[in-house]
């Protein structure tokens, strides 16, 4: 550590800065895991419906939605993997800032590079979660349209 209190403060501030990104990443991880749980629940319901369905048309529709849930789960899984990678980059940034200060700033721009990788990884995870939201809305809209169609057909 430096004898200069201002320099020590700057190092501590630089080490804590990634914590803000870690907070955002943690929030995204909670949301992603909640989404994954809901996808799994919906897939299990659809599988049960498929096992109890005798109608070929309904079975095809259910199988299509099972396939969509599988796709959604893979999108969320990829997003979650990216979020864990972002967490790793942000934690590594804090550690490298500390090591850099003890080594006489020999690591040059490595902390900036690690933080940048973390931010870019967080960006891609966010885009995947946005994609999954679109898939979820598409699925529920199809289900509502199917329900409306079936009801209007049965009232005739």
- pLDDT tens for the 156 residues of the chain, in order: 556 667 667 777 777 788 889 999 999 999 999 999 999 999 999 999 999 999 999 999 999 999 999 999 999 999 999 999 999 999 999 899 888 888 887 888 899 899 999 999 999 999 999 999 999 999 999 999 998 988 887 654
What is the number of other CB atoms lying within 10 angstroms of the CB of residue 106? 9
Q: For residue 10, what pLDDT is reported?
A: 76
Q: How far apart are alpha carbons 14 and 156 in whole angstroms?
A: 69
* Complete DSSP assignment for 17-75: HHHHHHHHHHHHHHHHHHHHHHHHHHHHHHHHHHHT---HHHHHHHHHHHHHHHHHHHH
User: pTM of the predicted model, to two decimals?
Assistant: 0.84
pLDDT of residue 2: 57
Quote the number of domains for the chain. 1
pLDDT for 13 equals: 78
Closest CA to 50 of 69, 74, 71: 69
Burial of 119 (0-12, 13-18, 19+ CB in 10 A): middle
Query: Exposed, middle or buried by CB within 10 Å (0-12, 13-18, 19+), for 63?
Result: middle
pLDDT of residue 54: 93
Report the pLDDT value the prediction gives residue 100, as an integer from 0 to 100. 87
Helix, strand, or coil here: 5? helix
The domain in which residue 22 lies consists of 5-154
């Amino acid at each position: 550590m430096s004898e200069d209190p201002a320099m020590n403060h700057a190092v501590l501030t630089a080490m804590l800065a990634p914590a803000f990104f870690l907070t955002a990443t943690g929030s995204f991880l909670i949301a992603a895991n909640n989404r994954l749980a809901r996808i799994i629940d919906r897939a299990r319901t659809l599988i049960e419906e498929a096992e109890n369905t005798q109608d070929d048309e309904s079975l095809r529709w259910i199988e299509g939605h099972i396939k969509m849930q599988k796709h959604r789960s893979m999108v969320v899984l990829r997003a979650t993997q990216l979020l864990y990678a972002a967490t790793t980059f942000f934690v590594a940034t804090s550690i490298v800032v500390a090591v850099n200060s003890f080594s006489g700033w020999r690591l040059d721009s490595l902390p900036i590079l690690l933080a940048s990788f973390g931010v870019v990884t967080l960006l891609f995870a966010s885009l995947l979660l946005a994609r999954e939201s679109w898939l979820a809305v598409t699925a529920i809209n199809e289900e509502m349209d199917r329900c409306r169609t079936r009801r209007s057909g049965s009232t005739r």
